[in-house]
Amino acid sequence: MRRHRQAKIVATLGPSSNDRQTIQALFEAGADVFRFNFSHGSHADHMARYRIVRAVERESGRPIAVLADLQGPKLRIGQFEQGKVTLNKGQDFTLDRDTRPGDKQRVCLPHPELFDVITAGQALLLDDGKVRLQVEYSDGQRIRTRVMNDGVLSDRKGVNVPDAVLPIPALTDKDKRDLDFALDMGADWIALSFVQRPEDVHEARAIIGTRAGVLSKLEKPAALDRLDAIVQASDAIMVARGDLGVELPPERVPGTQKKILRTCRQHGRPIVIATQMLESMISSPVPTRAEVSDVAGAIYDGSDAVMLSAESANGAYPLQAVAMMDRVIAEVERDPLYRNLLDAQNEAPQANRADAICSALRDVAGIVGATTTVTYTSSGHTSLRAARERPMAPILSITPQLATARRLALVWGVHSTISEQIHNEQEMVSAACQTALKEGFAKAGDQIAITAGMPFGQPGSTNLLRLAEVWA
């Protein structure tokens, strides 16, 4: 099933998308990657959905990526005697280590590691920023604050600390259990929540190895201070605008998103834009015009993928949400301005063979009017570098590795296919032409541009560029 667009769609599975018929319909409507949210659901729930996804994949013959999204270290306050309290602007309110139920004056903060890093002058945001506290004093046992706005606070609400790098592990005990399960299940991508520093990525990489790609979710301002290092340490990036939009002033989020996009494009890392993209479609069959503009803006900026969360997981219109996103992407990509913007954002190739070949591939394909660019890859590296160049012609990626083909389903412009290992240049050209015909990317007499690495099957050896005419 060829997609007639370049950017990809990530759809989250949940109660509204739990059965074979719905998952199949989501795929046919345009979902390229299915996200499994480990903040919700049991391992048995995830395994049942995984088996359905793989059945859909086998039936369609198109590789589908599975993204396992770990919950991460979510910070929460304790409980209140009455379940909730009303706080008034200007009053004092204390967070402490006392595990007794809280009241209007205090509540437990069951995260002892925070008491040593929170200092006077910092802000604490509770319940997704609905209640804002200003820290006046902290002595390692209690944090005394001033309430900055009227609000209601109830049990176990989240805590955000935008002004500090928190001394908390990137992987909680729950995350480690979920990670082991996700890897055994066969997830293609692992999403790490609340990444603050490259060391968080290295910690996960030590466990994951090469079994899955590592996708870092940028949700905290602290991550922006080490953005380049985090992007380089990761295989992909997600701009998770939920928590990021809580910890940053809302007016800074669009510019921050563009900065992260530019950095990912520079380093050739796929990027996913997520959170509240078509949120009104949780309960409405049509989105707002602002939401459509948000999706379109992410595509104009060159994003690899856009993501649906609750819209497809527990909304009333999951199929309509995917179909709407598919139509918006296709419409943007038909706009001549889209190509102009992509070309204007093009980054200079790095000084290595893979970038030199893939940069030339883009230019050569444009000059001769190639209908497709064909990349032979074992690890996926060649296809990733080709995608970084955003060529005019679609990228037909050919690999003998099913895991590689699935992982590339997240990447801009890449149509992944599986083939047997090739052994020489003649086999390469023949397989490229036949696959381009079979997949609908070319017809007899068309020119295609092919890149690969020699010796064949050796990862990271991209060094060959070849033009060929397709024959029937």
Is 217 annotated as catalytic? yes
Map residue 426 onto helix, strand or coil: helix
Give the position of tokens 């060649």. Answer: 382
The candidate with the shortest Cα–Cα distance to 123, out of 256, 217, 249, 253, is 249
Is 76 annotated as catalytic? yes
* Angle subtended by helix axes 381-388 and 353-368, to nearest 10: 60
H-type alpha helices, 149-226: 173-185, 198-208, 221-224
DSSP symbol at 158: B
Choosing from 20, 54, 74, 76, which is the catalytic residue?
76
Say how far apart CA 243 and CA 265 lie, in whole Å: 23
Length of the chain, in residues:
472
Choosing from 35, 62, 269, 390, which is the catalytic residue?
35
DSSP for 428-453? HHHHHHHHHHHTTS--TT-EEEEEEE
> How far apart, in Å, do the first and last CA atoms of the chain sit?
21
Q: Provide φ and ψ at 317, rounded to 5°.
A: -135, 60
Is 371 annotated as catalytic? no
DSSP for 48-85? HHHHHHHHHHHHHTS--EEEEE------B---BTTSEE
β-bridge mates for residue 106, sequence order: 94
Query: Residue 184 class from Cβ within 10 Å (0-12 exposed, 13-18 middle, 19+ buried)?
Result: exposed
Say how far apart CA 198 and CA 206 lie, in whole Å: 13
The candidate with the shortest Cα–Cα distance to 64, out of 75, 73, 72, 54, is 54
The candidate with the shortest Cα–Cα distance to 379, out of 345, 407, 343, is 407
Is 89 annotated as catalytic? no
Choosing from 12, 145, 263, 275, which is the catalytic residue?
275
What are the CA-CA distances from residue 324 to residues 33, 111, 333, 459 (Å)? Answer: 16, 42, 14, 38
Choosing from 217, 362, 388, 407, which is the catalytic residue?
217
Say how far apart CA 310 and CA 321 lie, in whole Å: 10
What is the separation of C-alpha 469 from the centre of its chain, rounded to a whole number of angstroms? 37
Give the position of tokens 């990809």. Answer: 8
Cβ atoms 271, 260 nearer than 8 A: yes
**Residues with catalytic function:** 35, 76, 217, 275
